[in-house]
Structure 1
Amino acid sequence: MPPIAEWRADPRWSAIDLLSDVHLQAGMPRTFEAWRRHLLHTEADAVLMLGDVFEAWIGDDARFDGFEAQCCEVLREASRRRMLAFMPGNRDFLVGDELLADCGVHRLADPTLLSAWQHRLLLTHGDALCLSDTGYQQFRHQVRNAGWQQRFLSQPLADRQAQARAMREASAEHQAGMAPGLWSDVDDAAAAAWLQQAAASIMVHGHTHRPGRHVSADGRTRYVLGDWDFDTTPARARALRLLPEGLAALDLASAR
């Protein structure tokens, strides 16, 4: 398993929001607006974004124009109001330090042990734990390689945009041919091993788009964040809020 980073919350805070899988893209303006509204107006002192905030991120040099520039402006404004942190997902693993520094966002390693008040939560995007999807795991190993990333980022922006579009279309086609119940899920044994290594009893992750709560026989609990979509009916957006007394579910779609 990867090394576990640790991040300690400010004990003076009263709430921390955990979200993932917003999949921001220009073709989903209502989803963008819901994300913008939440980051700017949430009652939480911090928002931790656990990957796939963007449907695709092809390099920090894309942040100066168009939709990407709008997203960055939201992050800058929100970071002046509360602490923001970002963990890379399978769609936006190329988010770099330039973007985060420009927007005032902290980086979270995957996985990270969150220590807040008396709680210890292991945070991860979740894709590294979907071990049954061997094809994806091979792809993940390839694109997380520093050499691959350097070669990709050295290409012109237009070429990277075309490649990202082709990969998204291939992914959508692959997923469309499978019933949701057959989509890859987190490996329970691997998740338990990670929790044991972290000396934690709670894991929070996204990636699978299957929001829920899973309790193992030994009492360890795995919370799954939901994806966001306000551009179809019914809208959906499931997140979690960590309070001093524990985790609370947030159904942001019904709270509009």
Structure 2
Amino acid sequence: MGERAAGGGPAALPSLNEFEAPRAWHCIDFIADLHLNESMPATFEAFAAHLQHTPADAIFILGDLFEVWVGDDAATRPFERHCLETLAAAASHRHIGFMVGNRDFLASCGVLGTTGMMGLPDPTVLGAWGRRLLLSHGDALCLDDAPYQAFRAEVRSDAWQAQFLARPLAERLRIAAEIRRVSSERQRFEGMAGADVDAGEAVRWLHALGAAELVHGHTHRPGSSLLAPGFKRHVLSDWDLDHGQRAEVLRLTRDRLERVAPAAA
């Protein structure tokens, strides 16, 4: 079932945001859900190596690059500063597009500007080599998770963000840690049953925005499947090379869309 507005009718469709890949490009990488933090050095090193050594002309990061981003003053912390410096180095010689996720939605245009990354609205239609792909983090489509959708609406409001960002950095970090703890406990007891996209709503987006394929992250359930006849989705992998061996890139070329391992030094 698709999303419903408070009055009972269909919810408003997202705005059409488009990006056309330059003709000279040959390869585009999609990644998401790296959840970078200082306690996962192997994951960060794999990410940094991929940024440097991938053959792709562009890398599109579809949300949750960071485990948490509590405001742009977090860039004063050593790990976050190192991440931004690494991204800036990569953006100096290839196109980096960044879409916020549910963990790093407070990253602003200001921090993007310091790295040279291009901000991607959620969703964005990418046109490349005759294909139109709808790019999204994916959390806005997980309609069965009603508590999360209520929380998402609250924290994306200007009023909540202004109040939250007015707090000292240390306090914001403590609040974020507590939110993550409560969320993890809820997932442990309730499972991830509500953490998949609503197929009907996804197809409604695709049809309205003129795309046949959806690329998203968030659910940590990598794979490709049909949403409905003529409409397909590709779910990105999360990355964790510190506690497991999960790291995958979805790569689009002129000929195919395939899953590959991250580029190594």
* TM-score (normalizing by structure 1): 0.95
Q: Give the drift of 1:215.
A: 1.3
Q: Give the drift of 1:183.
A: 4.6
Partner SS state of residue 249, structure 2: strand
Q: Among residues 161, 186, 206, which one is paired with 1:174 in the alignment?
A: 186
Amino acid at match of 1:244: R
Partner of 1:49: 61
Q: Give the drift of 1:249.
A: 1.1
Partner SS state of residue 85, structure 1: strand
- Does 1:213 find its partner at 2:243? no
Q: Give the drift of 1:219.
A: 2.3
Q: Give the drift of 1:178.
A: 3.6
Q: Give the drift of 1:232.
A: 1.4
State how far apart, in whole Å, the 1-side matches of 2:87 and 2:19 are.
20
Partner SS state of residue 229, structure 1: coil
Partner of 1:63: 75
Partner of 1:114: 126
State how far apart, in whole Å, the 2-side matches of 1:184 and 1:99 are.
29
CA contact (8 A) 1:40 1:78 kept: yes
Stretches of structure 2 that go unaligned for 5 or more consecutive residues are 1-12
Cα RMSD of the aligned pairs, angstroms, is 1.4
Partner SS state of residue 224, structure 2: strand
State how far apart, in whole Å, the 2-side matches of 1:77 and 1:216 are.
38
Partner of 1:244: 254
Q: Give the drift of 1:124.
A: 0.4
Percent pairwise identity: 47
Q: What's the CA shift string for 1:4-26, capped at 9, x where partnerless?
A: 21011111011010010000011
Matches within 5 A, 1:88-237: 88-180=100-192, 182-233=193-244, 235-237=245-247
Stretches of structure 1 that go unaligned for 5 or more consecutive residues are none
State how far apart, in whole Å, the 1-side matches of 2:144 and 2:158 are.
25
Q: Give the drift of 1:179.
A: 4.0
Partner of 2:27: 15
CA contact (8 A) 1:16 1:243 kept: yes
Do the aligned partners of residues 242 and 152 (structure 1) sit closer, same or farther apart at CA in structure 2, a change above 3 Å counting? Answer: same
Amino acid at match of 1:184: A
State how far apart, in whole Å, the 1-side matches of 2:56 and 2:28 are.
5
Do the aligned partners of residues 12 and 178 (structure 1) sit closer, same or farther apart at CA in structure 2, a change above 3 Å counting? Answer: same
Partner SS state of residue 44, structure 1: coil
Q: What's the CA shift string for 1:220-250, capped at 9, x where partnerless?
A: 11000010000013x1012211101131112
Partner SS state of residue 189, structure 1: helix
Partner of 2:8: none
Partner of 1:76: 88
Partner SS state of residue 102, structure 1: helix
Q: Give the drift of 1:45.
A: 0.5
How many pairs align?
253
Q: Among residues 33, 36, 46, which one is paired with 2:45 in the alignment?
A: 33
CA contact (8 A) 2:54 2:262 kept: no
* TM-score (normalizing by structure 2): 0.92
